[in-house]
Structure 1
């Protein structure tokens, strides 16, 4: 199967550049699905899904589930699932962010997930996320915001004032050293924002942001959204690096980007589903092809929109509706690919990797193994995926951490344990995971998209050859 590595990598770069927050990642995914003929539905409504139908819904605007129903699907048949997540480690604006010290206005931030926070120093930062805005009719709306201009910075301490860094290493306090500088605290820079009511009166109102955030910050938000400051009711904002993603290396062999973990997996799953959802692909299929992009994986998945919630079970039960026991019959027939990025061998730290498990970038997706169940892969699920990869002509690699090293985890064990569905953990190899600027292989994007499309199209055929109950 021919693969256009450059085109796939370029398309991913556009996707990740458009997705500085989980809300934006879901918005970009929605746009791609709608363009591909998927219909948006709502969880709270009754569903009338039909064979050959293509649908999606969102929860909290940060989790998305899409599915394409096979032409011969019946309740009790299998689900072919790819799961990934939309969130990445980042700094988030605190609910009360207003800080002033030593003549500067700063924004208080909270560390979300396990980031390499030292990489956030000396970067050109801005804000993206969602804002809840009061509308002229008195109702409230969810609005996306992205400020492309660098407005925040976390500067390092000059070496002349920090000589100990050579002997003691780079040390910082996440509470006191990560607040981001916004501006110089001159009176005219911190004047009351336009449209604010009297501060004493406004401060009594439950939706007022006055006193919680610098008026300059609120003014920036209101200008971006075209609303009055007084109509900003609340927000969830991520800091992000304004430097765009790019291809790098002499032969464009690298993707240099934030949020590879895990927007690369989300993108590849999305592209795989869309590529496998033409009427011709679905016509004779007995399965329903599902993509689930969850929020909050980086902090454990225990939220209403995380993989640890009942969300996904409810989806599969609704799609199995029609006769008693159909869901329970579908579970042992189904299969989940949990796709989350993997650690490539690092040339400067090769001793950190297990000697026989050293995945490379641009050498294909990596199957993750851990017998202590930090990953959900077993011999059966690995066999099935290896057969799919063989059909797709996509190379695969294996990884397992050293016995003296801690192992991360994914949504794989969570979904596998909660649903009882066969699951495999895989991911493309990358360097600098959880840095503000990560590094991956540009060819691996096309490899993963091709693998995922083939999985959706060929799973039923492959599974029929595996007789393990």
Structure 2
């Protein structure tokens, strides 16, 4: 509860903060989505198995544990009926650890990273950083060996990318240009402290469980730790021993049982509701966990009650993809067949024949809301927006247009989405990039062209997009959730009134 004189925090915004803090990576975001879907009665199915679906059923599957698709089938569904879909993406620009991350120079232990996506990399300097991601672990249970995918988050700050003092670069305030190879190398420890730690472990004779199989030679020089993953000398060791030991302690295994990992740097500062009027959300990864969360919550809320699917003739679906920030060209990105496969398998599982006609009909009756964050008008850079298209916070979802099809919106799809909002008293805004500026894109055009589905591109307005710390409005999170929920509930009936190809 808010204290006297403080603004009340909207429960949807509070849930969103929890979702953000539980989701430092795409893998964690999918894990949190799975948890919420299961809690809401959704059944997990596998793309590797046959599907047995039924009207009224609620299902989800994951691909690579970084993309998730969930859907609820209406009780009045028949093969060939349409899908109402909201899609978003789970990834955000970040710094990912290199396959061999061990860097030692100038008396420091550092971590080799590579930039992922188009980040504002100068914002990553002088932040309290940590790592999170997934680890492939060798487990031995009752004599049977298996290799498991396990999530890890190191909560405490263990890394930092320090800036150079102004005394050594007097012109830095005239323009700070980041050398992504030389400058974006976070510090883990000093070599002196690492050596003290190594000797302490050696003197303790590795009595701890995580080190019982590791041996250190008495004449081993600093920095020449044994490779506890593959064996051998320091030249073959891919990662610093200190980092491996910390990861192993968090997931409850021995360092040598770590087979591989995909880790990324994360800011340790938690997401918060902020501003003097508690009107903003300050956080990393708003692009695009905000739209992912709103889509997920809208689907759950639109399919929870016993009556919610009774009169539904179609399928309500969300798809949260990985790799949008790098073009979506992966097995789990929007450029893969995952969307088409999902539509095809749902349709065929409830079809009485092997004909492709029901799927083709279903695609033409379907509608996709591609939800990716939008650029709010910036008070200090107002000339960066086109005069008649200046989205602002607290004024609802932004419908994105581009004549060159960088966005897939057209007059029909924008009308449908806008009218559903009007019916439910939800505001919308419009955005077109300036003619003298390049236009970004998202998964909407990829799915529209790849699947052939009608698409509208929308997003909540935000500032500091692709910074390590972004901001958006609380009201727009609430509007987005309500608009997506209204779409799920109203689309099938409203679509009957639309006459285009007739």
| TM-score band w.r.t. shorter chain | over 0.9
Change in 2 beyond 3 A, CA 1:355/1:44: same
SS at match of 2:10: helix
Q: Is the 8 A contact 1:78 1:331 kept in 2?
A: yes
SS at match of 2:62: strand
| 1:11 aligns with one of 11, 15, 22 | 15
Displacement of 1:251 after TM fit?
Answer: 1.3
Aligned to 1:149: 156
- After superposition, the C-alpha distances for 1:238-272 in whole angstroms (9 at most, x for unaligned) are 11000001111121110101000000000000011
- After superposition, the C-alpha distances for 1:20-47 in whole angstroms (9 at most, x for unaligned) are 0001000110111111111111111111
Higher Rg: 2
CA distance in 2, matches of 1:268, 1:457: 15
Question: 1:7-46 alignment to 2 at 5 Å?
Answer: 7-46=11-50
Change in 2 beyond 3 A, CA 1:279/1:126: same
CA distance in 1, matches of 2:440, 2:237: 40
Unpaired segments ≥5 residues, structure 2: 1-7, 202-209, 216-224
Question: 1:453-468 alignment to 2 at 5 Å?
Answer: 453-468=485-500
Change in 2 beyond 3 A, CA 1:210/1:442: farther
Question: 1:156-171 alignment to 2 at 5 Å?
Answer: 156-167=163-174, 169-171=175-177
Displacement of 1:387 after TM fit?
Answer: 1.0
| 1:245 aligns with one of 263, 271, 276 | 271
Aligned to 2:448: 416
Displacement of 1:420 after TM fit?
Answer: 0.6
CA distance in 1, matches of 2:450, 2:9: 36
CA distance in 1, matches of 2:427, 2:156: 41
Change in 2 beyond 3 A, CA 1:204/1:90: closer
CA distance in 2, matches of 1:387, 1:273: 19
Displacement of 1:461 after TM fit?
Answer: 1.5
CA distance in 2, matches of 1:200, 1:237: 22
| 2:426 aligns with one of 378, 394, 410 | 394
CA distance in 1, matches of 2:281, 2:268: 16
Change in 2 beyond 3 A, CA 1:74/1:5: farther
Q: Is the 8 A contact 1:89 1:113 kept in 2?
A: yes
CA distance in 2, matches of 1:336, 1:386: 14
Q: Is the 8 A contact 2:229 2:257 kept in 1?
A: no
Change in 2 beyond 3 A, CA 1:194/1:200: closer
Change in 2 beyond 3 A, CA 1:395/1:202: closer
Aligned to 1:188: 196
Question: 1:436-451 alignment to 2 at 5 Å?
Answer: 436-451=468-483
CA distance in 2, matches of 1:86, 1:319: 23
Unpaired segments ≥5 residues, structure 1: none
The TM-score normalised by the length of structure 2 is: 0.90
| 1:175 aligns with one of 175, 181, 184 | 181
Displacement of 1:138 after TM fit?
Answer: 1.7
Aligned to 1:369: 401
| 1:270 aligns with one of 271, 296, 305 | 296
Let me know the Cα RMSD of the aligned residues: 1.7
Change in 2 beyond 3 A, CA 1:46/1:93: same
Displacement of 1:201 after TM fit?
Answer: 8.5
- After superposition, the C-alpha distances for 1:201-221 in whole angstroms (9 at most, x for unaligned) are 867669x99610000000110
Question: 1:56-455 alignment to 2 at 5 Å?
Answer: 56-136=60-140, 137-167=144-174, 169-186=175-192, 187-190=195-198, 194-195=211-212, 197=214, 211-277=237-303, 278-321=305-348, 322=351, 323=353, 324=355, 325-455=357-487
CA distance in 2, matches of 1:226, 1:332: 50
SS at match of 1:97: strand
Change in 2 beyond 3 A, CA 1:449/1:174: same
CA distance in 1, matches of 2:403, 2:282: 32
Q: Is the 8 A contact 2:329 2:335 kept in 1?
A: yes
CA distance in 2, matches of 1:445, 1:201: 47
Aligned residue pairs, count: 464
SS at match of 1:96: strand
Q: Is the 8 A contact 2:299 2:316 kept in 1?
A: yes
Q: Is the 8 A contact 2:226 2:237 kept in 1?
A: no
CA distance in 2, matches of 1:36, 1:209: 50
CA distance in 1, matches of 2:391, 2:75: 38
CA distance in 1, matches of 2:70, 2:426: 25
CA distance in 1, matches of 2:75, 2:156: 48
